[in-house]
A and B are shown apart, each in its own frame.
Chain A
Amino acid sequence: MSFTEFLRVPEIAQRYHKVKQYFYLRESAYDVTSVCQLRCEGCYYFEGDKYKVEDNRDSEAWRAFFEKEKARGITYVVLAGAEPALVPKILKACYDVIPFGSIASNGLKGIDPAIRYKIHLSVWGDSTGDPVYRRYSSGKLGPNCLPAQLKNYKNDDRAIFVYTFNHENANQLDEVLNRIDGDGHKLTFNVFSDPLLNSSPLKLRDTLKQTREKMTEAMEEYPDTVIYSYYNAEVHTDEKSLQQGFGCIYPRAQQAKGKTPIGIGKTFRSYRTDLTHATHTDCCVPDTNCADCRHYAAGSAIVSSRLNLHTDSESKFRAWLDYVDTYLAVWVLGYRRDKNLYVPSGAPAPLGV
């Protein structure tokens, strides 16, 4: 069967039509501050040189800058840093201009409810692991972020928790998932991706299979809470990195390979806090090692853009649709994910979500 034949299968056509309405999203990423309360192990922000620039703290300068970004065709912003919640005026300036986007936050401080972006709250482990992986900048044990996050985002529909699997924390998920589910929130997964220059002990080595099993178990046990698909689990725990499996489409990777950029490769920029960017770091996780890149944000762009690599069989196309449906549920406020269209053999039949 071919692409146009797949589209004659009603459930495939329906899902394709659903996700297609978002093909117009054109994203860029912005580090809005270099200040953070924490120094998490292997945080890509504090790698390389990008955090050494001087922050622009003038929210009106940011507002004018976002106007230019909008004029450049950007329809979706990813605000990150260090910790965006520490610069509320800049977040407001951005939201006033481009009302579609998300914020990556450690959740220790709340964000003005009027800013209707999706908010990704990072979780690194349970009450034993999180404080060790996420220390204060003084080097002291960190605060255990989850209780503060749940308090700051109680009943907040913007929030989605992002659990980063590392080499040793697969089983710490149980406590975290239990609390997030208990509070009626959603959770998705990230996979620790090694920094380029300073390899971290948290890099997954022989634990990819265990991680996949844990992801799958969580999806099946908490189908309403866990926003993930079988294909997500396969892709992000494959021996091959995203770059090796799919080829990365970000400007940084395209430039490194001397390729003619297309799509996001032309328009994506990763701005630093002084409002500059450089093509050799223009990807969603600069200073991450491409050979180990399994990051959820990277996958959202890389796998989703590779429609053409998923049309040689119906099951691959179904898997791609699940991936895009998941990506939209993670990044777009109000978007609801549907049941999996792709179920690997041996897995239980899909449950409605």
Chain B
Amino acid sequence: MSTVSSTETTIKDILWQSLAGGSYNIETLKSQLTADSRFDEIGLDSLDIVDFFLRLQDHFEIKMREEDYARLTTIKDIQTYLEEKGAA
């Protein structure tokens, strides 16, 4: 598995942890989500996205600025962001 896809897998795993216990059908989401899916278009709620970003910060030991939240709208955006920060 390439480094990129392993990061993608980790990001997705963290996303599923964030959404657990909420109002989602995780299996359906898993089948829909691609690296380019926009979080709002697949129906993720804003607080769940914040939860997701907080978990990413803990896992990758980085600090994300709030201004970044609005522009990180897909798994691919996050992957690129982590790479830029040297965290992926």
Enumerate chain A interface residues (CB-CB to B < 8 A): 2-5, 17, 20-21, 23-24, 26, 259-264, 266, 304-305, 307-308, 311
Contact = CB atoms under 8 A, between A and B. Distances in A.
Contacts of B48: 20, 23
B54 A23 contact: no
Contacts, number: 58
B55 A262 contact: no
B86 to A, nearest CB: 20
B8 to A, nearest CB: 20
**Closest 9 CB pairs between A and B?**
A263-B46, A3-B54, A23-B47, A24-B23, A260-B70, A4-B58, A2-B58, A307-B50, A23-B45
A3 B59 CA distance: 10
A17 B54 CA distance: 16
B22 A24 contact: yes
7 contacts: A3-B58, A4-B58, A4-B59, A26-B45, A259-B70, A260-B71, A261-B70
Nearest to B51: A307
A78 B83 CA distance: 43
Given A20-B21, A23-B22, A24-B23, A4 B50 contact: no
Nearest to A262: B70
A21 B22 contact: yes
Given A260-B70, A260-B71, A307-B51, 10 more contacts: A4-B58, A17-B21, A20-B48, A21-B22, A23-B23, A24-B22, A26-B45, A263-B47, A308-B53, A308-B69
Nearest to B59: A4
A20 B58 contact: no
Given A3-B54, A3-B58, A4-B55, A264 B46 contact: yes
A261 B69 CA distance: 10
A311 B54 CA distance: 9
B16 to A, nearest CB: 14
B40 A308 contact: no
Contact of A307 (B21, B54, B59, B71): B54
B66 interface: yes
Given A307-B51, A307-B54, A262 B22 contact: no
A262 B58 contact: no
Given A4-B58, A308-B53, A262 B23 contact: no
B22 A20 contact: yes
B74 to A, nearest CB: 14
B23 A21 contact: yes
Nearest to A18: B21
Contacts of B57: 2-3
Residue of B22, B51, B57, B69 with most partner-chain A CB within 10 A: B51
Contacts of B21: 17, 20-21
A24 B45 contact: yes
Residue of A3, A23, A304 with most partner-chain B CB within 10 A: A23
Contact of B66 (A2, A308, A311): A308
Contact of A262 (B46, B51, B54, B59): B46
Contacts of A259: 70
Interface in B1-58: 21-23, 40, 45-51, 53-55, 57-58
Given A17-B21, A21-B21, A262 B45 contact: no
Contacts of B69: 262, 308
Contacts of A261: 70
Contacts of A23: 22-23, 45, 47-48
